Amino acid sequence: MKFLLFTLFGIVQFLSLASGKSIPKNKFSHKSLKEMKEEIAGYEDVAESLINLAVYGKAKNRSYERLSYFIDTVGPRLSGSKNLDRAIEIMYKNLQQNGLDSVHLEPVKIPHWERGEESAVMLVPRLHKMAILGLGSSIGTPPEGITAEVLVVTSFDELQRRSPEAKGKIVVFNQPFVSYAITVQYRTHGAVEAAKVGALASLIRSVASFSVYSPHTGNQEYQDDVPKIPTACITVEDAEMLTRLASYGKTIVIQLKMGAKTYPDTVSFNTVAEITGDKYPDQIVLVSGHLDSWDVGQGALDDGGGSFISWEALSLIKDLGLRPKRTLRLVLWTAEEQGGIGALQYYRLHKGNISNYSLVMESDAGTFLPTGLQFSGSERARDIMKEIMGLLKHLNVTKVFTGGEGTDINFWIQAGVPGASLSNDLFKYFTFHHTYGDTMTVMNPKQMNVAAAVWSVVAYVVADLEEMLPRT
């Protein structure tokens, strides 16, 4: 009943939006492409100034230097951890000291899971200590561990076909890496699928583009009606070896020990700062990254880099004394890694103002040398973005791709707001993603300078255009 009411309300709201009743005239751009081209050409000097400041001028290397100091002194920032609390406190102060407007924290309850001690040892056919990382939200094993025979499969289909063999075993998934979006399904749902056919635990081949014997952690999801079993990721190397051992007809026995525990939810915050618009302050261009990370490595790549180029975008604009017509809002999300918890809270709280959001941006796929902008939106909006990216010709980063995305902005994109992210070297990104190797060593100051320049030009120009990006 409640659902039906909401649905009816939604339809009425949609109809009134569609008929333009609740939208001020001229709010969403209706200009011709020629008129837009002329307007955007007027930003060439501003774009040059932002680029010069970020790449060659006094802000050169600043996002890298700010990030390295922050990362080295705070460390990894797992949801529910003291480190994450400290990170938020420090960023709050940093943003205030930077003189940004309306610096504030928006509270949200987030999960608190800790991995504890963990190990996996292959006992049969030979003794082999395996590198593992428990998956976020996994339960632990009993203290003596789970010792069981192994069933190795390469897909959910194979697991279905061989389901009678799975009972009482540890299921190992050795799925090949196709793309993150496709392959991550095994990490997210492997434990549930294995438990459905009676497995005692599941081990998942790390979702990685490249491996030097590095396990990659990440979140996983239980299902209410399926027994919870412990689950961890193993290295690509071990997953492939287990497949080979099975093909030789060998019996494999593994002992898995995991001390993982889930504690009650804790209070955390989305960290927000603005450059308030001087003509349409209620209208928003949102620029973002997530401040939380996994507990291994330093969370430099995921997503320290995205958070710090997003802050840098506002810093650069402020350094030049610019104030766009609409508000540029920086959001540093909390608990993204646990499934976009902070972002979902923000969406629930702010979606009433959705008709005033021109563009949502998130950098959460690397801050290496960008190859362009990934953009989701209407064809008319895309044409405008192409013109804006043309302002970056001196950096040779002018391409507009499809598929603007980010866990934290997807709520808005799905509801029809144009969304943008940086196109990056994903092979490199998924080499280090969610591992002990996610440290400052993989970051590059010159690449961050360019990423920050692109981010600031896009954010500033969209925030300063006379009209909002069109939605149709």
Ligand X SMILES: *[C@@H]1O[C@H](CO)[C@@H](O)[C@H](O)[C@H]1NC(C)=O
- Residue 214 or residue 407: which is nearer to Zn ion going by CB? 407
* Under rule CB under 5 A, residue 303 binds Zn ion: yes
> Active-site residue numbers?
336
136: β partners:
219
Residues 358-387, one symbol each (x = binds ligand X by CB under 6 A, - = not), give -------------x----------------
Least distance in angstroms from the C-beta of 34 to ligand X: 26
Q: Looking at this protein, which amino acid is placed at residue 190?
A: G
- Residue 219 or residue 447: which is nearer to Zn ion going by CB? 219
Identify the residue among 161, 167, 348, 446 touching ligand X (CB under 6 A).
Answer: 446
Least distance in angstroms from the C-beta of 43 to ligand X: 21
Identify the residue among 43, 177, 186, 280 touching ligand X (CB under 6 A).
Answer: 280
Helix (H) or strand (E) holding 2: helix 2-18
Least distance in angstroms from the C-beta of 60 to ligand X: 5
* Under rule CB under 6 A, residue 396 binds ligand X: yes
Tokens linked to 132 = 């593992």
**Which of Zn ion, ligand X, none binds 303 (CB below 5-8 Å, type-dependent)?**
Zn ion
Residue identified by tokens 């979606």 is: 351
* Under rule CB under 6 A, residue 445 binds ligand X: yes
Cα dihedral 19, 20, 22, 28 sign: positive
* Under rule CB under 5 A, residue 302 binds Zn ion: yes
Helix (H) or strand (E) holding 280: strand 280-290
**Which of ligand X, Zn ion, none binds 282 (CB below 5-8 Å, type-dependent)?**
ligand X
Query: How would you class 435 by CB atoms within 10 Å of its CB: exposed for 0-12, middle for 13-18, buried for 19 or more?
Result: buried
**Which of Zn ion, ligand X, none binds 371 (CB below 5-8 Å, type-dependent)?**
ligand X
Q: Which of 328, 375, 363 is nearest to 470 (CA)?
A: 375
- Residue 362 or residue 467: which is nearer to Zn ion going by CB? 362
| Start-end of H helices in 19-173 | 33-41, 44-51, 62-74, 82-97, 156-161
Whether the CB-CB separation of 187 and 156 falls below 8 Å is answered with no
CA 207 – CA 366 distance, rounded (Å):
16
**Which of ligand X, Zn ion, none binds 279 (CB below 5-8 Å, type-dependent)?**
none
Least distance in angstroms from the C-beta of 219 to ligand X: 28
Touching ligand X, residues 44-73 (CB under 6 A): 60-61
- Residue 324 or residue 437: which is nearer to Zn ion going by CB? 437
Least distance in angstroms from the C-beta of 175 to Zn ion: 21
CA 350 – CA 329 distance, rounded (Å):
13
**Which of ligand X, Zn ion, none binds 441 (CB below 5-8 Å, type-dependent)?**
none
- Residue 267 or residue 349: which is nearer to ligand X going by CB? 349
* Under rule CB under 6 A, residue 356 binds ligand X: yes
CA 157 – CA 89 distance, rounded (Å):
47
# residues near ligand X by CB under 6 A: 14
* Under rule CB under 6 A, residue 221 binds ligand X: no
* Under rule CB under 6 A, residue 38 binds ligand X: no
200: Cβ contacts below 8 Å, ≥ 6 apart = 146, 148, 168, 169, 170, 229
Q: Looking at this protein, which amino acid is placed at residue 44?
A: E
Q: Which of 333, 276, 271, 263 is nearest to 81 (CA)?
A: 263
Touching Zn ion, residues 314-373 (CB under 5 A): 364
* Under rule CB under 6 A, residue 329 binds ligand X: no
- Stretch of 45-53, 168-176, 280-288, 359-367 contacting ligand X, by CB under 6 A: 280-288
* Under rule CB under 6 A, residue 276 binds ligand X: no
* Under rule CB under 6 A, residue 349 binds ligand X: yes
How far are the Cα atoms of 148, 204, 232, 268 from residue 243, in angstroms, in the given order? 16, 12, 17, 42
Q: Which of 344, 271, 353 is nearest to 308 (CA)?
A: 271
β-sheet with 170-173: strand ranges across = 128-130, 118-124, 253-258, 146-153, 170-173, 201-205, 231-234, 132-134
* Under rule CB under 6 A, residue 414 binds ligand X: no
* Under rule CB under 6 A, residue 355 binds ligand X: yes
* Under rule CB under 5 A, residue 118 binds Zn ion: no
Least distance in angstroms from the C-beta of 306 to Zn ion: 7
**Which of ligand X, Zn ion, none binds 302 (CB below 5-8 Å, type-dependent)?**
Zn ion
Tell me if the bond preceding 295 is cis, omega within 30° of 0. Answer: no
Helix (H) or strand (E) holding 236: helix 236-247
Torsion on CA atoms 259, 260, 265, 269, rounded to nearest 10: 110
Least distance in angstroms from the C-beta of 331 to Zn ion: 14
Cα dihedral 251, 222, 263, 183 sign: positive
Residue whose beta carbon is closest to ligand X: 282
Least distance in angstroms from the C-beta of 413 to Zn ion: 16
- Residue 238 or residue 319: which is nearer to ligand X going by CB? 319
Q: In the complex, which residues of this chain contact Zn ion (CB under 5 A)?
A: 302-303, 364
Q: In the complex, which residues of this chain contact ligand X (CB under 6 A)?
A: 60-61, 280, 282-283, 349-350, 353, 355-356, 371, 396, 445-446
